[in-house]
A and B are shown apart, each in its own frame.
Chain A
Amino acid sequence: MNIPVEGFMYPNEVELQWSILIVLYPFITGLVAGAFILASLERVFRVEAVKPTYRLALLTALSFLLVAPLPLQLHLGHPERSLEMYLTPHRSSAMAMFGFVYLWYLMAVLLLEIWLDFRLDIVIKSQTTTRVTRLIYRALTLGSDNISERSLHIDERLGYFITVIGIPSAFLLHGYVGFIFGSIKANPWWSSPLMPIVFIFSAMVSGIAAVMLLYMVTTRLRGRDIDIRCLDKIAQYLFYIFMIDFSLEMLDLLQRVYEADESFRSLDFMVHTRLWTSQVIIQILIGTVTPITLLGLTQILKLTEAARKRIYALAGCLTVIGIFAMRWNVVIGGQLFSKSFLGYTTYKMAFATREGLLTAIALLILPFIILSVLVKLLPPWPDAGPVPAPGAIEPRNQLTPVLRG
């Protein structure tokens, strides 16, 4: 394969080591962290309006979290060895420690919170379904079908506690991804202490946008009405957090421009040439300024419901595209220039290879397949609570309003 090189590259820089799969990895973990933080808004800060998306956000976070390590595994020549970081972890390895952050977040936060939250539904389903499904639900109840008011109250308290722990954990999970890039001091495009913070905020932006879109699409698919109050609130949060994210990124840029260290001319040239489309056009103009303006308009103008919905959908899509472009520009952009600052290489994306475009597309579809299974198993819809089993005891909260009557 002949890779077009401009100027001077060291031989080991010509071919990119980190492919589109490594772009997916921060993108997907970002969606996880963002979706979870949206869910915890309802739980911890008691934002009643976003309640319809609470459970959906949790399940979305889980589906994406299960897929998050796959791009890394595919990138490794010996994926089975990655397990060794759990068996004999090296404390000086950022990646090995990330394994534990991941495990903690999956096992101690997300799965627990989902289990506690869905336990009532699980128990009822284990009594109302038959055969295989019944077995699955029975296994999920862990053999205890106590749904007394007190036990549910205890679950509620515990769930709250876990969410409180979960917020810093979600920050840690994604901050860590930024940390891994930010701590590569040999690469001036990455090496910045602001990296983890920018990553967290962009994660929240992408996660919130994704859950918002998912909520709109799934509600449509089920033939229900979208709760516009909920949507307004989510869009409002998206707008605020996006503003913070954008200012942080601009601050980072400003700092770089003003500091203008020895790498600046080279990076500046790169942004004006090889990254112009993906960074300036797609990430900044289409993926950031446009959605912020659109969302800003909905905050200022009095628009009809239908118009707002359209604007939210458009802004959400652009946002997700913009954040993907941001990950792309970080991961790919960081490998396009020479450490000598004298040359530039090109990323040639393969198609049907282990790290090719096809694999990337499959990895992006996979979370939705997992989500559709999870949604079948544990319906997150607020308006479709489980049918009470004969003798089922008065349920605990508003999340299953059907039961309340």
Chain B
Amino acid sequence: MFKDVEHLVRLAAVMLIALVAFVVLRAAVVPRSFGQYGHYRGAAIAEVAARPIAFAGHDTCEACHTDVVDQKKQGRHIVLSCEACHGALARHADNPASVTPPKLDTAVLCARCHEANSAKPKASPQVVTADHSGGLACDTCHQPHRPKIDTQPATKPATEARK
């Protein structure tokens, strides 16, 4: 009698072993803190919090670079944080003497936000950089912290995107 279902019993045993192996594997590889707060590893929060701070924040820069802050206040770039352009500079803010911020390439930096794209809102200042500057670095004409050009320059680009 048993002999006729023996193969099925063996099959069930194989399946059971597979199931147990899965449960053991799962217990072994799923991190302890998984699910502590939600569907993620709870310990990740502490780990992320323990990482060194990369961005110093606008207020920190203000303490030493009041001149730039004053300049920035005069133009529409007032909305931007220093590190949006200069990159993460916490290490510089901690130790300005030894960590010098890298020089920025404005032809790349400014185009990142101002390259014309029909998906951008109309109110956003945008130019077709190839026509507008012809490869010149943007800060040959614009002062990065106060980008508006007040005095009409002699070399006003023909395709300037003012509406």
Partner of A151 from the list B7, B25, B29, B119 (CB cut-off 8 Å) is B7
Interface check B4, CB cutoff 8 A? yes
A88-B34, A151-B4 known; 10 other A-B pairs, CB under 8 Å?
Answer: A8-B119, A10-B119, A11-B117, A88-B35, A142-B7, A142-B10, A142-B11, A144-B6, A146-B6, A154-B5
Interface check B49, CB cutoff 8 A? no
Interface check A51, CB cutoff 8 A? no
Docked Cα-Cα span, A268 to B122, in Å, equals 29
Interface check B30, CB cutoff 8 A? yes
Docked Cα-Cα span, A119 to B14, in Å, equals 16
Q: Which of A11, A87, A141 has the most CB of B within 10 A?
A: A87
Interface check B3, CB cutoff 8 A? yes
Interface contact B39-A115, CB-CB below 8 Å = no
Q: What are 9 A-B residue pairs whose CB atoms fall within 8 Å in the complex?
A: A9-B119, A11-B117, A87-B26, A88-B34, A112-B11, A142-B14, A146-B4, A146-B6, A148-B3
Interface check A90, CB cutoff 8 A? yes
Interface contact B30-A146, CB-CB below 8 Å = no
Docked Cα-Cα span, A308 to B35, in Å, equals 61
| Chain A: CB-nearest residue to B120 | A11
Docked Cα-Cα span, A10 to B120, in Å, equals 9
Contacts of B149 in A (CB 8 A): none
- Rounded to whole Å, the gap between the CB of A106 and the closest CB of chain B is 12
Docked Cα-Cα span, A60 to B3, in Å, equals 32
Interface check A164, CB cutoff 8 A? no
Contacts of A90 in B (CB 8 A): 39
Interface check B98, CB cutoff 8 A? no
Interface check A285, CB cutoff 8 A? no
Docked Cα-Cα span, A146 to B1, in Å, equals 11
State which residues 121-167 of A face B: CB under 8 Å.
141-144, 146, 148, 150-151, 154, 158
Contacts of B66 in A (CB 8 A): none
Total contacts A-B at CB 8 Å: 44
Digitize B25-38: 1 where CB-to-A-CB distance is under 8 Å, 0 elsewhere: 11001100011000
Docked Cα-Cα span, A44 to B163, in Å, equals 74
Docked Cα-Cα span, A148 to B2, in Å, equals 12
Interface contact A87-B30, CB-CB below 8 Å = yes
Interface check B118, CB cutoff 8 A? yes
Interface positions of A (Cβ within 8 A of B)? 8-11, 86-88, 90, 112, 115, 119, 141-144, 146, 148, 150-151, 154, 158
Docked Cα-Cα span, A146 to B8, in Å, equals 11
Interface contact B7-A119, CB-CB below 8 Å = yes
Docked Cα-Cα span, A268 to B4, in Å, equals 63
Number of B residues, CB within 8 Å of A: 20
Contacts of B29 in A (CB 8 A): 87
Interface contact B118-A144, CB-CB below 8 Å = no
Interface contact A143-B118, CB-CB below 8 Å = no
Q: Which of A112, A143, A151 has the most CB of B within 10 A?
A: A151
Contacts of A87 in B (CB 8 A): 25-26, 29-30
Partner of A115 from the list B11, B22, B25, B26 (CB cut-off 8 Å) is B11
Tell whether A11 pairs with B119 under 8 Å between CB atoms, given A87-B26, A151-B5: yes
Contacts of A148 in B (CB 8 A): 3-4
State which residues 102-119 of B face A: CB under 8 Å.
117-119
Interface contact B4-A154, CB-CB below 8 Å = yes
| Chain A: CB-nearest residue to B13 | A142
| Chain B: CB-nearest residue to A89 | B39
Tell whether A144 pairs with B10 under 8 Å between CB atoms, given A88-B39, A151-B5, A154-B4: yes
Contacts of A146 in B (CB 8 A): 3-4, 6-7
- Rounded to whole Å, the gap between the CB of A346 and the closest CB of chain B is 18
- Rounded to whole Å, the gap between the CB of B111 and the closest CB of chain A is 14
Contacts of A8 in B (CB 8 A): 118-119
Interface contact A143-B10, CB-CB below 8 Å = yes
Contacts of B39 in A (CB 8 A): 88, 90
- Rounded to whole Å, the gap between the CB of B159 and the closest CB of chain A is 21
Interface contact A144-B30, CB-CB below 8 Å = no
Partner of A150 from the list B4, B22, B30 (CB cut-off 8 Å) is B4
Q: Which of A112, A119, A142, A143 has the most CB of B within 10 A?
A: A142
Contacts of A112 in B (CB 8 A): 11
| Chain A: CB-nearest residue to B10 | A142
Contacts of B10 in A (CB 8 A): 142-144
Docked Cα-Cα span, A9 to B4, in Å, equals 66
Docked Cα-Cα span, A141 to B39, in Å, equals 42
Q: Which of B4, B7, B117 has the most CB of A within 10 A?
A: B7
A-B complex: 4 closest residue pairs judged by Cβ atoms: A144-B7, A151-B4, A142-B10, A150-B4
- Rounded to whole Å, the gap between the CB of B130 and the closest CB of chain A is 15
Contacts of B4 in A (CB 8 A): 146, 148, 150-151, 154
- Rounded to whole Å, the gap between the CB of A371 and the closest CB of chain B is 24
Contacts of B117 in A (CB 8 A): 11
